[in-house]
Amino acid sequence: MPGSSETQNAPPLSKIELRERIRRQGLELGFDAIGFAPAVAPPGYPDMLDWLEMGQNAGMAYMERQAQARAHPRGVFEPVATVIVAVLNYKPETSSKPGPGDESIASKRTCGHVAAYAQGRDYHFIFWERLDKLLAAIQADLPDVRGRAVADSAPLMERDFARLAGLGWFGKNTCLIHKSIGSFTLLGALLIDLELPPDAPFEADHCGTCTRCLDACPTQAFEGPYRLDARKCISYWTIEHKGHLPDEAADDLHGWAFGCDICQQVCPWNRKPPAASDAEIRGDGRFHEPDLLDWLEMEPAEMKRLIKGTALERSKRAGLVRNACHVLAGNGASESLPALNRLAESDPDEVVRHAAARAAARLQSNSK
């Protein structure tokens, strides 16, 4: 055990032994993979600058504000010497679609999709808690080591460091693909000021000529391999964008009320990996194909309680109900008209009123 008299009396570990010990500790904390990368400039940084220059970050202005900080992990933690990358598998269970006798057409069309990563506890908290425990385990033996845990919470190009740490390659849909986990991977990192031997970077590309992810995108958000235009991405519009959805986006959500998994659902590398076993990641099922009519009829305080501690809090009630209105209209769910009309007339949030009125008008127009 760290800090025990037996450990204190043992000869000091070599840096390779220490690295492997930290890797084991990370796996014991519940991570699905751990890799070690050197603290260097991320190889994909020039491509990111080009992406920003072309405006493909859409309304995510913070990407531009943080661009310089992403040039090197020193922008996140100045004394960094090693980037420890942690992976969490969030692959959903594969479930068969209900047959004609299982549920009515009416009830199906009031349901929407929620991205698999958002169906459990907010992964930021999971990473922060576990990475802080990993840092504490390191400091139990090496008290002078300093570090910082990050998970989409700082301007670090985690995906680049995951590849440098030997954890996978970039799919053409820009997702990291781990050979045994697939692309349903969440990434976090622990930056420490102790230099450790890095893992061999992942150099191979196992996508070959496959373009299923690109071809499956219903909004043509990929201008080509490895190039995602957020201005056309369902995930961007349903999560990052605040306020009203433009007509083109509102009419093109394809049933997604939060995020989108389509490009991952078709990836051959996601067929064989096991589903996530972590209960915190899997969640309790409340966001698996939720009935969006319930979201429309839910009191604001109840909705706040429903999404508390999940990634859906990012969109807040206004964004979620806005998305639900547009999905219901796209699904042709005319049974939602009473709820939509009520929201359009009296909801306290102007974004919700606008979305509900537009959705109701679309449904009424389509029924003529």
pLDDT digits (tens, 9 = 90+) for 135-173: 999 999 999 999 999 998 899 999 999 999 999 999 999
Radius of gyration of the chain (CA): 22
* 193 has a pLDDT exceeding 70: yes
Phi, psi (degrees; rounded to nearest 5) at 2: -60, 135
Q: What angle do CA 54, 57, 58 make, to 5 degrees?
A: 100
Alpha carbon 93 to its chain's center: 17
DSSP class of residue 192 equals E
Query: 2-16, 274-288, 306-320, 333-347: lowest mean pLDDT where?
Result: 2-16
Say if residue 102's pLDDT is above 60: no
Q: In whole numbers, what is the pLDDT of the chain averaged over residues?
A: 94
User: What pLDDT, in 10s, does the model give residues 259-281?
Assistant: 999 999 999 999 999 999 999 99
Cβ-contact 60, 150 below 8 angstroms: no
Taking CA atoms, 287 is separated from 113, 114, 207, 243, 263, in Å, by: 8, 6, 31, 23, 20
Q: What is the DSSP letter of 226?
A: T
Q: What is the mean pLDDT of residues 318-337?
A: 98
Extents of the domains making up the chain: 5-192, 212-367
Q: At which residue do the structure tokens 């009191």 appear?
A: 299
CB neighbours of residue 318 within 10 Å: 19
Q: How many residues in the chain?
A: 368
Extended beta strands in the chain, E state: 33-38, 82-89, 113-114, 147-150, 169-170, 176-177, 185-192, 222-224, 227-228, 256-258
Contact between 252 and 234 under an 8 Å Cβ cutoff? The reply is yes
β-pairing, 33-38 vs 82-89, is antiparallel
The string of pLDDT tens digits covering residues 272-307 is 999 999 999 999 999 999 999 999 999 999 999 999
Which amino acid is present at 233? C
Phi, psi at residue 256, to the nearest 5°? Answer: -90, 120
State the catalytic residue, choosing from 132, 141, 152, 294: 152
* Residue 96 confidence class, pLDDT cut points 50, 70, 90: very low
Tens digits of per-residue pLDDT, 207-232? 999 999 999 999 999 999 999 999 99
Residue 275 carries which DSSP code? Answer: P
Q: Is 199 a catalytic residue?
A: no
